[in-house]
């Protein structure tokens, strides 16, 4: 599990192993977060990351996009890291 801080919302959400960031955030804090494929190829769930080390698991984003964003349906924090999102 790892922590995701929602900078603008002012909340933190724990993402358990086996649960996507998208699902955890929708269930715990932001039920209207957009998504579609949940498989890392449509880009609908892309969010800006402000801090933390991202383990990217999509096939869509460019290296430039990965510098400050992630697809929250598939990507996670690297072990030992949390994430701070612009949400």
Instruction: List residues near ligand FES by CB under 6 A.
Output: 35-38, 40-45, 71, 73
User: Least distance to ligand FES from the beta carbon of 13, Å?
Assistant: 17
Task: Return d(Cα 12, Cα 9) in angstroms, integer.
Answer: 9
The smaller minimum CB distance to ligand FES, of residues 6 and 58, is found at 58
User: Least distance to ligand FES from the beta carbon of 57, Å?
Assistant: 10
User: Least distance to ligand FES from the beta carbon of 55, Å?
Assistant: 15
């Amino acid at each position: 599990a790892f922590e995701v801080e929602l900078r603008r919302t002012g909340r933190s959400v724990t993402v358990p192993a086996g649960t996507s960031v998208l699902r955890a955030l929708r269930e715990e804090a932001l039920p209207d977060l957009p998504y579609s494929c949940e498989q890392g190829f449509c880009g609908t769930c892309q969010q800006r990351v402000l801090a933390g080390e991202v383990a990217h698991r999509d096939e869509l984003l460019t290296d430039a996009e990965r510098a400050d964003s992630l697809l929250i349906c598939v990507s996670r924090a690297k072990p030992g890291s949390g994430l701070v999102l612009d949400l």
